[in-house]
């Protein structure tokens, strides 16, 4: 992704030509606040020019977590676009040089007589700082997707009470993979797929992953209610943590039924602040 415009176009193509075909009636909506979202599908397929559907994707309540999903699929599954840095992405993408994968992992040989940047201790410190920053960004991304998973599930059950007892999926979607989380507001069960779901294989779309995503999108067909009782799944403890706000969560709205006048990812901000306080307290305790 080189810019916001490119990201918006890629989102439109992936939704129009991948996700929408895995739902009944090509049912999707993209956040109408997205920057540079094209009106028609920008793919290079001849005679496509499909109209890109956009609308209100608001979720939550003003008393708790609230924000906007990047995409809503099948009227009940939220998708959050995520960005995961890779080794290749850290390279300059504008260069014409070609890199082979094995070269990226080869150690760099430095002549002891040459001055080659900072000393080894400084390079180690810099690498540690970079890794810590990436871990922080990754954790913030997971916090956001978890918050959206819980919020979307409560919102959908509030809108459609028949969904009570189901594990309702939410996706975090990058250009090359998807992560899936599921939450059952009735039984307080939060699950996350252990492995990332790769989108692409050597010959194009990776078929096993496409089938897996399709099954998630049609969860009411391929799973059944109250799995927590049958499989003795552990509770997430969210009901206990949010006991004073649980009724607010149960009355959450989605779409046009809830459209806040300002954008605030409140719950993620709270998680981040709590984690930072915990880290500072842990360091202070370790010093003593």
Instruction: State yes or no: pLDDT of 110 exceeds 70.
Output: no
Q: Mind giving me the DSSP string for 256-275?
A: GG---SS--BHHHHHHHHHH
146 falls within a domain: yes
Instruction: For residue 18, tell me if it sits in a domain.
Output: no
**The dihedral formed by the CA atoms of 181, 184, 188 and 193, expressed in degrees to the nearest 10:** -20
Both tokens of 188, joined, read: 């307080």
Residue ranges with strand state E in 2-76: 28-31, 54-55, 58-60, 66-68, 71-73
Domain contains 99: no
pLDDT digits (tens, 9 = 90+) for 153-194: 999 999 999 999 999 999 999 888 999 999 999 999 999 998
**Contact in structure between 177 and 197 (CB atoms under 8 Å):** yes
**133 class by beta-carbon count within 10 Å (0-12 exposed, 13-18 middle, 19+ buried):** exposed
- Is residue 197, in this structure, part of any structural domain at all? yes
pLDDT beyond 50 at 108: no
Whether residue 154 is contained in a domain is answered as yes
Report the pLDDT value the prediction gives residue 151, as an integer from 0 to 100.
93
Per the prediction, the chain carries an average pLDDT of: 77
Which helix or strand (DSSP H or E) is residue 228 part of? helix 227-231
Residue 185 domain-assigned (yes or no): yes
pLDDT at 259: 56
Closest by CA position to 185, among listed 264, 260, 248: 248
- The percentage of the chain sitting over the pLDDT mark of 90, rounded to a whole number, equals 36
Distance CA 85, CA 132 (A): 13
Residue 230 lies in a domain: yes
- Total number of domains constituting the chain: 1
Is 151 contained in some domain? yes
* Cβ neighbours, 10 Å, residue 199: 19
pTM above threshold 0.75? no
Contact indicator for 185, 225 with CB cutoff of 8 Å: no
* Segments forming the whole domain that contains residue 223: 56-87+142-267
């Amino acid at each position: 992704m080189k810019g916001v415009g490119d990201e918006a176009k890629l989102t439109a193509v992936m939704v129009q030509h991948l996700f929408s075909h895995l739902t009944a009636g090509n049912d999707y909506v993209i956040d109408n606040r997205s920057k540079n979202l094209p009106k028609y599908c920008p793919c290079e397929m001849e005679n496509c020019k499909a109209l890109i559907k956009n609308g209100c994707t608001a979720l939550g309540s003003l008393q708790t977590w609230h924000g906007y999903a990047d995409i809503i699929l099948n009227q009940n599954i939220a998708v959050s676009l995520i960005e995961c840095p890779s080794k290749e992405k850290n390279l300059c993408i504008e260069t014409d040089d070609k890199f082979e994968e094995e070269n990226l992992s080869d150690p760099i040989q430095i002549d002891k007589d040459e001055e080659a940047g900072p000393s080894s201790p400084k390079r180690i410190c810099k690498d540690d700082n970079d890794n810590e920053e990436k871990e922080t960004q990754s954790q913030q991304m997971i916090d956001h997707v978890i918050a959206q998973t819980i919020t979307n599930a409560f919102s959908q059950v509030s809108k459609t009470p028949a969904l009570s007892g189901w594990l309702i999926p939410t996706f975090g979607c990058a250009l090359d993979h998807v992560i899936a989380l599921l939450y059952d507001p009735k039984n307080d069960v939060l699950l996350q797929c252990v492995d990332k779901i790769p989108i692409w294989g050597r010959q194009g779309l990776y078929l096993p992953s496409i089938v897996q995503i399709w099954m998630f999108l049609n969860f009411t067909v391929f799973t059944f209610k109250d799995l927590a009782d049958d499989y003795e799944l552990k509770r997430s403890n969210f009901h206990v943590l949010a006991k004073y706000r649980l009724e607010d969560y149960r009355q959450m709205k989605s779409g046009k039924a809830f459209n806040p006048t300002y954008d605030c990812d409140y719950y993620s901000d709270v998680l981040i602040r709590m984690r930072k306080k915990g880290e500072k307290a842990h360091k202070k305790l370790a010093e003593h």
